[in-house]
Amino acid sequence: MKHLTPRQAWAWLQDRANDPPEQAPLFVDVRMEIESLYVGRPPGVVNVPWYEYPDLQADPERFARQVLAEAENRQRPVLLICRSGKRTLEAARALEAAGFTDVAHVVHGFEGELDDHFHRSTVSGWRFEGLPWEQM
């Protein structure tokens, strides 16, 4: 598993933007769909939740199957993002266990770590770095 800062991840995606579709990185947001839609997300991500409401229980095999359906092969590079970079660690391990060969995650995720006032997007993360994002 590769650990990429938000800026490294964005640069990597841009460098690979003209790759054939089956070789271009698949950018996966592992947050619940409601998080991705309402909090915001990078453009071009595919939402495959690591867990979802109401059960909030991860199912690594289901997750790997859903990512494979999007990626179409286990050799395609996969980049994972979540809120803070913690869910993606488990999700990446599940993909590697399922045979994916090129998995990376965004360190600090979309919103980053909490600051001293328990706020996010103030010390780290995709949004903090000023990278492109969209919101419903």
Tens digits of per-residue pLDDT, 119-136? 999 899 999 999 999 998
Q: Give per-residue pLDDT as tens, 55-97.
A: 899 999 999 999 999 999 999 999 999 999 999 999 999 999 9
Residue 131 to residue 126: CA distance in whole angstroms: 6
Predicted confidence at residue 136, as pLDDT, reads: 82
- The residue-averaged pLDDT of 26-49 equals 95
Q: Are 13 and 27 in contact (CB under 8 A)?
A: yes
How confident is the model over 11-18, as a mean pLDDT? Answer: 95
Superfamily holding 2-106: Rhodanese-like domain (3.40.250.10)
For 87-115, write each residue's pLDDT tens digit: 999 999 999 999 999 999 999 999 999 89
Token look-up 């990446």 returns 92
User: What are the sequence ranges of the domains in the chain?
Assistant: 2-106
Q: Give residue 53's pLDDT.
A: 85
Q: What is the pTM of this model?
A: 0.95
Looking at residue 22, its pLDDT comes to: 85
Counts for the chain of helices (H) and strands (E), in that order: 4, 5
b/e per residue 9-33 (b: at least 16 CB within 10 A): bbebbeeeeeeeeeeebbbbbbbbe
Mean predicted confidence (pLDDT) in 27-45: 95
